Structure 1
């Protein structure tokens, strides 16, 4: 409706301008040619108002639907109105540079197909043109079987059985939602993709659909195997994806618990709406289940990271060599004595392996003065040390949290 009002208003204004020029030519040839120049047109209106007022009235009448249409468009889609005012529609369409080397010749739905994105994740191959939420043109192929490593698929039109499912979708300028077509047989497909470090598949792609689909593509493609991005061989933590967050949390949990045995990390459903994420994650650490509230923050240079992460990197694992038989007796003697964890206890050891000291009594001396005694409960998401203290005979408990920089000394009171 808003587009009709805008177009109708512009047509009325254009008709009024044409009428005004015709009136000027009827007055004199000089006024007619002069009315084609805006300042002289204004002078003509002032000098010959009785002749020009009908045309000016039509122009003013056209302003009414134009203003109403623009107001409706601004309330519904302000960004689109701003693009119209900036005359973006006059500028040639420019495509963002592609991340992958995709060289395909052919068309999709009768239009040239120049995909900028490609991936093969969860057995679904996707080639996508356009960076908006809905792709301008998209091709997806759902493989019937899980694939790992190299991918080799050959399908002919006469083949039957369990075959890949092909889906085409495209978005026309006048549409809000894309159209889609599905096909499970009757096409030609050839895939020959080889793994390429760190997370890509590269190889030949050939697809010919039945004539009614107007789709035929052939060439070489490069696809991502997951939603991680790499810079100089390292994971780029600035890239917004669920796989990036899982990678950051896995590394953080290994360093926090000082173990590489971190398994079955489960993330809740979330969306990237800003530079912060508040997540409740479930994970298995050294065979025990943990449920942790974690807060992540994204910085311009460093990318995503867990707030309060001050844990050192894990040392390279070294397999201890068996000792000579003469040392067996002393080792057994040391193992027979109870372990006193107060020896060599420090804040750094507590941060690396908090489970070893859970619910043990500790004395904490604050840098600003004063001491607190209580039982160690755990480490908060921001790295704070949390102690619990019994309050009198009523059975209540008080909990205290201290950031590492607030702690002057931490003592373990139990073996």
Structure 2
């Protein structure tokens, strides 16, 4: 309704202006040509008011539906009205450079198909056209087995056995949900994709479905093989994906425990968009399985990061632990093997952060840079990276200390 009122008002205003020019030509040829220029048009209205009055009245009537239409539009879609009044639609649209070099020619369900997104995740190759939640057109190929290297698949219509499943879907303007078709044989498929650093595949793609599906696609294809995106050779932490979150957590754990031997267990699916994530992750750290609470937040400029992450970057070459250097000496003295291990020897804050489970519930004393002393039993590392000590007081009470590693100037293990 609002669009009809706005359009009707504009048409009345235009008709009034045309009528005004016709009136000017009826007065004289000179006034007619002069009325095309706004200053002379105003002069004509002032000099020949009786002749110009009907045309101005018609143009004035056009402002009534125009104002009503704009008011209705502002009441239920203010952003659309702002876009109209800003006149940005008059500027030529700037073409954003494509992330992927996709050069495919063909059609899907009888309509031209030009995908902008392509990826191969967990054996599922998908090509999407459109940026909305439901793609305008989409092709999905579920591959039985995908290796980490090149991907080569050749299927003919007469082939039998376990073959890739092909699914096509499309969304027409009058539809709310897309339509989909699936088939597992009777088609032609050729894939020859080679790895392209850091996380892409590129190569030839050729697909022909049976005639009733009206789908053929052929050309060169470039696609992502995981959920990471890169900028200037580094991972883009602002991109929302499970792989980005996993990368941030692994980097944090490597710096927190000063080791590159970190293997994160799958964290499951996340419903993006999100601004913060609270997870309880499991990871193999130096061969030891640990469960850690981790909270992440997304910042405007830095992207995803772990809350209260203050650990320094790892050096390019890590020096081997002291225990590994002394292993030959320990082997040369077998008489000491039977003795109980005294964990107070070579105990340090770095070792505590690297293997907190090894010192769980042992008595410790820590001195801070402010001169305070905290003594109690070690309860672990919280999600902010703080050292937790708990001391039982007389009676039923107890006191808990939460210390940041950078605040601790000296820490002692009080029992073996």
Matches within 5 A, 1:204-215: 204-209=204-209, 215=215
Corresponding residue for 1:116? 116
Query: Is the 8 Å Cα contact of residues 267 and 281 (structure 1) preserved in structure 2?
Result: no
CA distance in 2, matches of 1:242, 1:327: 44
What is the CA deviation profile of residues 328-358 of structure 1, one whole-angstrom value per residue up to 9, with x for unaligned ones? 561x332222222223322222222222222
- 1:335–1:308 Cα change, 3 Å: same
- Structure 1 residue 283: deviation in Å? 0.8
Number of residue-to-residue matches in the alignment = 406
Q: Report the CA distance between 1:192 and its aligned residue.
A: 2.5
Are residue 280 (structure 1) and residue 279 (structure 2) matched?
Answer: yes
* Corresponding residue for residue 373 of structure 2: 371
Q: Is contact 1:150–1:195 with CA below 8 Å preserved after alignment? A: yes
TM alignment of 1:196-211, pairs within 5 A: 196-209=196-209
For structure 2, the 5+ residue unaligned runs are none
Cα pair distance change 1:208/1:399, threshold 3 Å = same
**Structure 1, unaligned stretches of length 5 or more?**
none
Alpha-carbon distance change, 263 to 49 in structure 1, aligned in 2, over 3 angstroms: same
CA distance in 2, matches of 1:364, 1:123: 51
- Partner residue of 1:403? 404
Q: Name the counterpart of 1:69.
A: 69
Change (3 A) 1:341 1:65: farther
Q: 337, 341, 348: which is aligned to 1:335?
A: 337
- Distance (whole Å) between structure 2 residues aligned to residue 309 and residue 366 of structure 1: 17
CA offset at residue 61 of structure 1?
2.9
TM-score by length of 2: 0.81
Alignment of 1:121-136 (within 5 A): 121-130=121-130, 132-134=131-133
After TM superposition, give the deviation of residue 179 of structure 1 in Å.
5.0
**Equivalent residue for 1:347, pick from 327, 345, 349:** 349
Check 1:51–1:248 CA distance in 2 against 1; reply closer, same or farther (3 A cut).
Answer: same
Answer whether contact 2:118 2:224 (CA < 8 A) is retained: yes
Secondary structure at 2:337's aligned position in 1? Answer: helix
Q: 2:293 maps to what in 1?
A: 292
Task: Please state how far the C-alpha of 1:121 moved relative to its aligned partner.
Answer: 1.3
What pairs up with 1:1-400 in 2 under 5 angstroms?
1-108=1-108, 113-130=113-130, 132-134=131-133, 137-143=136-142, 145-148=144-147, 149-156=149-156, 164-169=165-170, 179-184=178-183, 187-209=187-209, 215-230=215-230, 235-257=235-257, 260=261, 262-267=263-268, 269-274=270-275, 277-285=276-284, 286=287, 288=289, 290-298=291-299, 300=301, 304-306=304-306, 307-310=308-311, 313=314, 315=318, 328=331, 330=333, 332-393=334-395, 395-400=396-401
Alpha carbons 2:361, 2:379 under 8 Å: kept = yes
Deviation at 1:308, TM superposition (A): 1.9
Instruction: Write out per-residue CA displacement over residues 293-312 of structure 1, whole angstroms, 9 at most, x where no aligned residue.
Output: 32345474x65432324166
Q: 1 CA distance for matches of 2:335 and 2:385?
A: 37
Contact 1:126 1:138 in 2 (8 A): no
CA distance in 2, matches of 1:281, 1:66: 57
2 CA distance for matches of 1:266 and 1:191?
31
When the two chains are superposed, the root-mean-square deviation of aligned CA atoms in Å is 3.7
Instruction: Classify the secondary structure of the residue corresponding to 2:265.
Output: strand
Q: Please tell me whether the aligned partners of residues 117 and 129 of structure 2 are also in contact (alpha carbons under 8 angstroms).
A: yes
- Once the two structures are overlaid, the 10-residue window that deviates more, 66-75 or 220-229, is 66-75
Change (3 A) 1:170 1:355: same
Say if 1:124 and 1:140, in contact at 8 Å, map to a contact too.
Answer: no
Against the structure 1 CA distance between its residues 254 and 104, is the aligned structure 2 distance closer, same or farther, given a 3 Å change threshold?
same
Question: In 2, Cα distance between the equivalents of 1:176 and 1:92?
Answer: 30
SS of residue paired to 2:118? strand
- 1:397 CA drift (Å): 3.1
Q: Secondary structure at the match of 2:309?
A: coil
Aligned partners of 1:268 and 1:281 also within 8 Å: no
Q: CA deviation at 1:17?
A: 2.0
Instruction: Name segments (4+ residues, structure 1) moved above 6 Å.
Output: 158-161, 316-324
Cα deviation, residue 120, structure 1: 1.3
